[in-house]
Structure 1
Amino acid sequence: MNKIFLKLAFLMLSALVYGQAGHVMQGVGAVNMSMGGAATAQPLDISGALQWNPAAISTFDSKILDFNFGLFYSSPELSSTGFEFNGSTGEQTGNMITGLTEDDRGVSPMPALAMVWGKEDSKHTFGLSAFGISGFGVTFPQQEFNFNPINNMQPFGFGRVESDYMLLQVGLAWAYEISETFSIGIQPTINYGALELAPSPLSSPDFTPPSGAPGDQMYPNSDKASALGFGAQFGVFYNSPSGIKLGASYKTGQSFGDLEFKNTYLDGSAAPETAFNMDYPTILSFGLGYSKGDIDFALDYRMVDYENTDGFAEKGWVIAEEGPTAGFPTGAVKGFGWKNINILSVGLQYKGIEKLPLRVGYTYSSNPIDDELAFFSIPATAVIANAFQLGFSYPITDNLMLNGVYHYGTSDGKTEGNLLNPTPDQDFNQDGQPDGPWNVATNPLGKVPNSKVGYEMTTGMVMFGVSYTFKE
């Protein structure tokens, strides 16, 4: 049965899953999402427990299947202030213009599948899960010339900016009750990740395209590259008779092989292939739970370690090591350069209404993007600072439970920094006129004077799930 479950999970989720528009999902499934993602010490459902603390599945004494499906939508906006170009000659006019582009990606599906095997008289509990735990994606269409500078056609801007990243994680969990109140758990994980970029900032741009005419390529587009990754999660869980619960878990970094991209210029010609390693960060979680009468309360704190994760720790331009341009940027990007983030999740469930438990949840996340590096994160603009959730459950039968949640998130303002110039052989003065090469020593990122690039967004999601408890 496990092999069948695993095969179906990969086939279904690899085709459909698109993670929340932030790199780390705040929760999994309707119940956990409605509690703001808090579950490290308050396992109200098996999906939340399997995602955040494998030790907590010890509270489930039956065989349970949980399936969730949601529709997620976001509305990123990309704005920039940059130099105006003469549409006929392609030369800069010296004027600055500001424009805004709205994302037209649409709705993305979000499924999640989990199962737990537990028995009342056994100290062992097992679980199997297939979750989309991460993802980002934007589609900012190319704009009319001089409407939004960053979406100008290449080589005057980057044209259409599109990204699509997803990460599917399958975990096999085991929990052991050391005592009636204390459990430990372990969960080995296998991951599948895929990334597509257009244009690809991981490639060195061609600064001398075939014709040199407006619309010629500078950066190529990539195909969709995929890689497998491996990791594990460890947890402890304390469930006191007084109703107080404590939990902690450590999810190791998920180590991936390289993403190997085949690249194509806009005219259809082949560009050099590139390889990029992007792991999933280590996550440390601590949780507090309390259950008394009709009230279940949950509070989680998480630290996400981007600063020691391949693909996120590195920042700036790749530097040429040999040839006439040795010591100068190639125009290819090293990585996102994200900071560690702190996440606070809180949730409350009220069971005082017969057959209709109600839940509210809130999630706060700090911003991983430094202002000066905002330019490098245009393909991953999902910075959700505040998320609000409202959910419910309803028993359809004694064994079948319907769960639902509505989510709304906001970036709480704009992440904004300078436009960065990927062409080190060409600098521009305050009036936008050519002024020789930019100084790598004093301006290592190639900041463009008086320019800006920024993004902000809101998100929404509706998700429903069914949980079925098998009869003994």
Structure 2
Amino acid sequence: MNLLKPAVLMTLAGLAAPALATNGTMPHGYGIKAQGMGGASIALPQDAIAAANNPAGMAIVGNRLDAGLTWLKADRGATIGGTYLSANDKDNYFIPDFGYNRVIDDRLSAGISVIGNGVGTRYSHPVGPPTNSNAGSELMQVVLSPTLAYKISPGQAIGVSLNVAYQRLDIRGVEHVGLANQGFEHAFGYGLALGWSGKLSDQVTLGASYVSKTHMGKLDKYRSLLAGGGEFDIPEHFGIGIAYMPTPTVTLAADALRVSWSDIRSIGNSLTSAGAFGADNGPGFGWKDQNVFRVGINVAASDTLELRAGYSHGSQIIPSGETTLNYLAPVTPQKHLSAGLTWRLDKQVEMNLAYTRTFDSMVVGSGASLGIDPRHSQHLLGASVGWTY
């Protein structure tokens, strides 16, 4: 590998450095209530963000509107050649979500969930070979999911969402690879999500969801860097879940998910791929497919107060031989511990809170990535308001 190639690879990593990146470029759960249960939600819809977790859940949550905001404080960086470099020049981010659902008749519901992925990374100085500006990048993705959900029988529901996505990307401080600061590049895309929910008994509910790859338009300003000529799609993912009520006031939930990162060339191609930058077989981030397991508990402490807690664990997606590409994309977190509550102000209005600690995780580089060790941890505090009508 020549001297230029590692520099370009480290620059490319800035594209996948979202501060929301706890499971790759995705959070541990969508919606404040799901966040408080470690993300467990496929068989336990609790608000109008449900379509982002399982479209069938919109047939269950009833008439409601939810609006939330999560404050995220990120701590990330990497040890390079024995020296630790902090990537925390910007470490506070705010991520909104929104959901609306309406019951059309006894069987059909229609609604929309809106969620976000990604934010960015920023250094207070140039990184790598001498450049004219400070290093950094910003990646933002917003997904709108118009949804129809249908009760096919008592206790059984299916749902379908059209995922319409927008993303924007900016990279700074990469003049040393012949790319001046380009500013933001934008792209739109689309995908499909399917879901099912079914009650086996009064105590047990199962759920399953499938989300296709969201095919995004090419990021033309960065087509000479990203494999696939500027490809940066949102990956296919699917999962199953179970919810169990051992008592009328206690609900346990668990999910298992699979995220297909390797199917996206710019993300899954190896650091040492033989092709030129931007080619279909060009270098990528080298991420592996990911298995995610989530468990949570919800306790109705009173008529007005619910308490919840949860834990999520994702398999490591960055192999030790691929850490060079993740110099600016330390998407290393695996373990998340969360707690939350719902306080009902009256029959129609509720307040929700959730706190999540994403524990520090480091990947020690080896082989072609020897000496580059990225790490990342987070605090997340989310709040939302829900209205039923």
TM-score by length of 2: 0.86
Aligned match of 1:417: 365
Aligned match of 1:295: 250
CA contact (8 A) 2:269 2:282 kept: no
Q: Within the alignment, does 1:164 sit opposite 2:138 as a pair?
A: yes
Aligned match of 1:230: 190
Q: For each residue in 1:324-352, what CA deviation from the matched residue of structure 2 results, as whole angstroms up to 9, or x when unmatched?
A: xxxx999x963212100011111100113
CA contact (8 A) 1:21 1:74 kept: no
Aligned match of 1:341: 290
Aligned match of 2:157: 183
| Counterpart residue type for residue 302 of structure 1 | L
Q: Secondary structure at the match of 1:38?
A: coil
Structure of greater Rg: 1
Distance verdict in 2 for CA 1:310–1:333, change over 3 Å: closer
CA contact (8 A) 1:318 1:329 kept: no
Aligned match of 2:124: 141
CA contact (8 A) 2:38 2:294 kept: yes
Q: In structure 1, which of residues 456, 461, 469 is the aligned counterpart of residue 375 of structure 2?
A: 456
TM-score by length of 1: 0.72
Q: In structure 2, which of residues 236, 243, 246 is the aligned counterpart of residue 282 of structure 1?
A: 236
Distance verdict in 2 for CA 1:293–1:281, change over 3 Å: same
| Counterpart residue type for residue 363 of structure 2 | T
Instruction: Tell which deviates more after alignment, 158-167 or 241-250.
Output: 158-167
Q: For each residue in 1:404-433, what CA deviation from the matched residue of structure 2 results, as whole angstroms up to 9, or x when unmatched?
A: 011110243x11215xxxxxxxxxxxxxxx
Aligned match of 1:122: 106
Q: Secondary structure at the match of 1:380?
A: coil
Aligned match of 2:299: 350
| Counterpart residue type for residue 70 of structure 2 | G
Q: Distance in 2 between matches of 1:347 and 1:256?
A: 33
The structure 1 segments of at least 4 consecutive aligned residues displaced by more than 6 Å after TM superposition are none
Q: Secondary structure at the match of 1:335?
A: coil
Aligned match of 1:28: 30
CA drift of 1:319 comes to 5.3
Q: Distance in 1 between matches of 2:209 and 2:177?
A: 43
How many equivalent residue pairs?
Answer: 366
Q: Distance in 2 between matches of 1:186 and 1:102?
A: 39
Q: Secondary structure at the match of 1:42?
A: coil
Aligned match of 2:51: 50
Q: For each residue in 1:31-52, what CA deviation from the matched residue of structure 2 results, as whole angstroms up to 9, or x when unmatched?
A: 11101111111112221x2111
Aligned match of 1:37: 39
Aligned match of 2:7: none
Q: How does 1:146-157 map to 2 (within 5 A)?
A: 151=127, 153-154=129-130
Q: Secondary structure at the match of 1:261?
A: helix
Q: Distance in 1 between matches of 2:301 and 2:364?
A: 46
CA drift of 1:379 comes to 2.5
Q: For each residue in 1:159-199, what CA deviation from the matched residue of structure 2 results, as whole angstroms up to 9, or x when unmatched?
A: 84312111100011111111102111111111001112234
Q: Distance in 1 between matches of 2:55 and 2:225?
A: 40
Distance verdict in 2 for CA 1:329–1:246, change over 3 Å: closer
Percent sequence identity over matched residues?
21
CA contact (8 A) 1:255 1:280 kept: yes
| Counterpart residue type for residue 154 of structure 1 | P
CA drift of 1:353 comes to 3.3
Q: Distance in 2 between matches of 1:386 and 1:378?
A: 21
CA drift of 1:299 comes to 0.3
CA contact (8 A) 1:113 1:130 kept: yes
CA drift of 1:262 comes to 7.0
| Counterpart residue type for residue 340 of structure 1 | D
Q: Distance in 2 between matches of 1:273 and 1:185?
A: 38
In structure 2, list runs of 5 or more residues that go unmatched.
1-17
In structure 1, list runs of 5 or more residues that go unmatched.
1-17, 82-96, 144-150, 207-218, 264-271, 322-327, 419-444
Q: For each residue in 1:196-239, what CA deviation from the matched residue of structure 2 results, as whole angstroms up to 9, or x when unmatched?
A: 22345xx9925xxxxxxxxxxxx643421111010010011102
Q: Distance in 2 between matches of 1:113 and 1:250?
A: 21
Aligned match of 2:77: 77
Q: Secondary structure at the match of 1:46?
A: coil
Aligned match of 1:101: 86
CA contact (8 A) 1:161 1:198 kept: yes
CA contact (8 A) 1:199 1:222 kept: no
Q: How does 1:182-201 map to 2 (within 5 A)?
A: 182-200=156-174
Q: How does 1:265-414 map to 2 (within 5 A)?
A: 275-291=229-245, 292-316=247-271, 334-412=283-361, 414=362
Distance verdict in 2 for CA 1:301–1:273, change over 3 Å: closer
